[in-house]
Chains A and B, each alone.
Chain A
């Protein structure tokens, strides 16, 4: 009691005329070592009590100068570096880069390689969404789904490991096709993995969707309208959660995606809950694509004819793909030499993170944690 009084006295001394409860603005620092920031994101929050008045993101803690490194490696040597951008979806990153360089070289990848790429990329989308689900729900306070999601993701990582020897930074594809063919029993294992995961997705839903706490914490939280998304360049499940039916796989198909039947799930309200529903449905759609691709996997070569030393003709292309986080683009410029003249990565995490301020302004500080989770950012990609 006496301590309390003392405290009040000291506040009065520091700011005469203002009581503690009156001191309206408070600036707090969240991160870079904060478990719910999914890495090394630092958010400086300006609060009025529990209400967020504004924020500033401080990023770059993981900046490795990947775009500079690209200019000092050959075209093929740079390929493994892109895996380290969004390291929970390394396969997608590799696919985007390979497609960009192939476009520059005017190389058509053999059909078998295209299908293999689709299978692995969609498996990676599943794995990435499982990481998102586990950590996002954990942030909000449910511990159990994390273990379930990571347990199931393990099966996918095992497929990667058998295919290319790596679980996380896979470097699965090469410019011109795939380095490895499907290993023996690949199709059966992928089918089995899909059969295993489908009921698990329903299980995640049973655990989370109807949960009162989950609904209260996500419905109407972090609302971003479709027009806001477009204006801010926000793509991926964030855009679809706001009701815009747009997916690069449908809009600008690449790597034979137009061969497969799948739906683009959309939300309506553009809040955290809708984005959660969209991502869950996307996992089911990914499984649909994987099954079709495994069934229709054609025979044939894996690599197009590409020279040993790649020297794409001078020019530039922009190639985008639908990464698990959104539109991942590579703007590559060649001057005709053996090294890229410029490689620009359009990172979906970086651009989606920009929407954070708009999404949490005026909401409660606890919602910041929920919104960072729903943004599904990977700091390796934000900082590059």
Chain B
């Protein structure tokens, strides 16, 4: 019910994104929209020109003491160290992920685990890409660590470095079915504990649900 008007507005924006300033406020700033409407292209395009979406941002290699040290210690275990739109990330082998996280936590001062999540790439032989987003208060920098795990493999827990990883790992387990070795209490967190299936996997359809659970617990044939 609440969604309907919102979606309508959205369609409007999609059809005319450039001139949206003009119809949005016919009376507010009377001079500006009139000029913007008449010579539509130059007025609208001029301020947006400095950063058009055309030049595709590319990942640049990230060279620093830390990446050199990791390269030296782990060799090819460090898959990639790059910077994309100003954000730094390190891709490592799943087996050394915990050691890298420990180095970042103990030696580099990344004292907050800002976020931990997972991305499912079903065509990959190691489909689960776990992403740790770390923040260092002293240096005011973020860094992302990424590692891939195969079906049935376990990712290392980060709860011994940042206790805050607890619920985030539970959520990844709930949504993707990826287990974390050493987690103190790995249970589902958002879905019911006896739910079957992991919804954020790409092969889980948007309309799919655990029909048996719905029938048994809600007493209805289908929730949809």
Contact = CB atoms under 8 A, between A and B. Distances in A.
A165 B20 CA distance: 16
4 smallest A-B Cβ distances: which pairs?
A: A181-B25, A233-B164, A60-B190, A305-B48
Given A69-B206, A184-B27, A317-B87, A303 B59 contact: no
Main secondary structure of the interface of B (DSSP, over half): mixed
A346 B44 contact: no
A342 B119 contact: yes
Interface string A292-320: 00000001111111111100010111101
Interface stretch (A32-40, A42-50, A103-111, A124-132): A103-111
Given A302-B24, A344-B117, 12 more contacts: A65-B199, A76-B10, A181-B28, A183-B28, A233-B164, A244-B137, A302-B21, A303-B18, A304-B48, A342-B119, A342-B120, A346-B114
A331 B162 contact: no
Interface of A: 59-60, 63, 65, 67-69, 71-72, 76-77, 79-80, 83, 103-108, 110, 165-166, 169, 171, 174, 176-184, 186, 227, 230-234, 244, 246, 251-252, 299-309, 313, 315-318, 320, 327, 329, 331, 333, 341-342, 344, 346, 350-351, 354, 383-384
Contact of B57 (A106, A231, A232, A307): A106
B163 A232 contact: yes
Contacts of A252: 140, 142
A108 B50 contact: yes
A256 B12 CA distance: 27
A171 B6 contact: yes
A310 to B, nearest CB: 9
Contacts of A182: 25, 28-29
Contacts of A181: 21, 24-25, 28-29, 33
Contacts of B117: 331, 344, 346
B140 A251 contact: yes
10 contacts: A79-B10, A107-B51, A177-B20, A186-B28, A232-B163, A233-B113, A305-B44, A317-B85, A342-B120, A350-B167
Contact of A110 (B17, B47, B191): B47
Contacts of B162: 231-233
A227 B164 CA distance: 12
A306 B9 contact: no
Interface in B1-31: 2-3, 5-7, 9-10, 12-15, 17-18, 20-21, 24-25, 27-29
Contact of A68 (B10, B36, B189, B199): B199
A307 B53 contact: yes
A301 B164 CA distance: 42
B140 A315 contact: no
Contacts of A327: 114
Interface of B: 2-3, 5-7, 9-10, 12-15, 17-18, 20-21, 24-25, 27-29, 32-33, 36, 43-45, 47-53, 55-57, 59, 84-85, 87, 111-115, 117, 119-120, 131, 133, 137, 140, 142, 144, 162-164, 166-168, 175, 189-192, 199-200, 202, 204, 206
A162 to B, nearest CB: 11
A88 B103 CA distance: 39
A252 B13 CA distance: 29
B167 A171 contact: no
A305 B45 contact: yes
B162 to A, nearest CB: 6
A183 B164 contact: no
A316 B20 contact: no
Contacts of B2: 169
Contact of A231 (B43, B164, B200): B164
A107 B12 CA distance: 20
